[in-house]
Structure 1
Amino acid sequence: MLRPSSPVQQLAAVDIGSKAVRMVLGNLNCKGHLQIQQRWRAFLSLGASVFRDQSIPTAQILALKQVLQSFQNSLPQDTPCSISATSAFREAKNRDEAHHELARQGFQIQILTGLEEAELIHHLFRRQWPELSGTTLHADLGGGSLELSLEQDAQLLWQDSLPLGVLRAGKRPNLSSLKALTEPFAKVSLSHRQLLVSGGSAREWGERLVSEGIFGAHEPGRSIFEYQFLPLRKAKTRSATIFSRLIEMWKPEQVVIPRIGLKEGLLLNLAEQLSNEECRLSLGKEVPVLQVNLPQAEVGS
Structure 2
Amino acid sequence: MTAQPKFAMNHMAAPRLDCRAFLDLAASLGCLGVELRNDLADKQLTDAAFFDGEAPAAIGNYARSKGLRLLGLSEVYGFNAWSDAMRAKVQLLIEQAKEGGAESISLIPRNDAPQYSDGGRDEALRRSLGEILPMLDAADLVALVEPLGFVTSSLRCKADAIAAIEVVGGSGRCKLVHDTFHHYLAGESEFFPEHTGIVHISGVIDPSLSPEEMQDSHRILVDERDRLGNIDQIRSLIDGGYSGAFSYEPFSRDIHRLSSAEEAFRLSMDFIRSTLS
Give the alignment's TM-score, normalised by structure 1: 0.30
Considering fraction of residues, name the structure with more helix.
Answer: 2
Give the alignment's TM-score, normalised by structure 2: 0.32
Report the structure number with the largest CA radius of gyration. Answer: 1
